[in-house]
């Protein structure tokens, strides 16, 4: 993830800063800049975030939708404990899959890697994604068997699937 921030100064509207009534005499300003000041205003900062920093940034954006929050919702449900545990595993697998898919996209965009390095990383990530998909499918199958065995009503099944897919 690359973030570029311009370091130039923003222009301020004098009308938004003054405390006089609108019918007061108008104030106009003309900025005086030298060539050096203009060059400095047009510079920018380029920032490359490490994978750890990207994870932190991504996690903070999703603060309300974390795995812990989902697990809390699962724990607060009226579902049997066995189903709650399977739902937590399903949520965990889904979160890990999202992370691995993001890593896959990052590797594909990484211009610092040569073709061999990129392919090696892509292959490893694809194997991890495949393994996670298999684990997710197995957990979903176990969940389906439990629902059938426990003969849950439709409302409980809908709530359970909502928790699994959130």
Close Cβ partners of 56 (under 8 Å, ≥ 6 residues apart): none
pLDDT digits (tens, 9 = 90+) for 105-161: 999 999 999 999 999 999 999 999 999 999 999 999 999 899 888 888 888 888 888
In a domain, 150, yes or no: yes
Q: How confident is the model at residue 18 (pLDDT cuts 50, 70, 90)?
A: very low
In the chain, the number of structural domains is 1
CB 1 within 8 A of CB 49: yes
CB 150 within 8 A of CB 83: yes
Query: What distance in Å separates the CA atoms of residue 147 and residue 121, rounded to the nearest whole number?
Result: 39
Query: What distance in Å separates the CA atoms of residue 126 and residue 69, rounded to the nearest whole number?
Result: 28
The Cα diameter of the chain in Å comes to 80
In a domain, 15, yes or no: no
Helix pair angle (67-76, 81-109), 10° resolution: 160
pLDDT digits (tens, 9 = 90+) for 52-96: 556 555 554 554 467 788 888 888 888 889 999 999 999 999 999
Q: How confident is the model at residue 98 (pLDDT cuts 50, 70, 90)?
A: very high
Q: Which residues pair with 135 in a beta bridge?
A: none
- Domain span at residue 108 reads 50-165
In a domain, 25, yes or no: no
In a domain, 59, yes or no: yes
Close Cβ partners of 3 (under 8 Å, ≥ 6 residues apart): 47, 49
């Amino acid at each position: 993830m690359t973030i570029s921030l311009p370091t130039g100064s923003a222009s301020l509207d004098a009308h938004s800063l003054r405390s006089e009534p609108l019918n007061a005499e108008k104030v106009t300003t003309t900025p005086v800049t030298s060539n050096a000041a203009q060059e400095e205003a047009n510079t920018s900062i380029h920032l490359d975030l490490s994978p750890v920093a990207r994870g932190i940034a991504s996690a903070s954006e999703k603060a309300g939708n974390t795995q812990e929050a989902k697990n809390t919702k699962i724990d607060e449900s009226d579902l049997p404990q066995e189903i709650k545990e399977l739902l937590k595993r399903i949520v965990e697998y889904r979160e890990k899959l999202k992370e691995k898919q993001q890593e896959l996209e990052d590797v594909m965009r990484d211009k610092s890697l040569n073709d061999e390095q990129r392919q090696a990383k892509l292959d490893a990530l694809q194997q991890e994604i495949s393994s996670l998909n298999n684990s997710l499918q197995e957990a979903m199958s176990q969940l389906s068997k439990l629902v059938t065995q426990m003969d849950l009503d439709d409302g409980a099944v809908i709530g359970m699937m909502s928790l699994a897919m959130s």
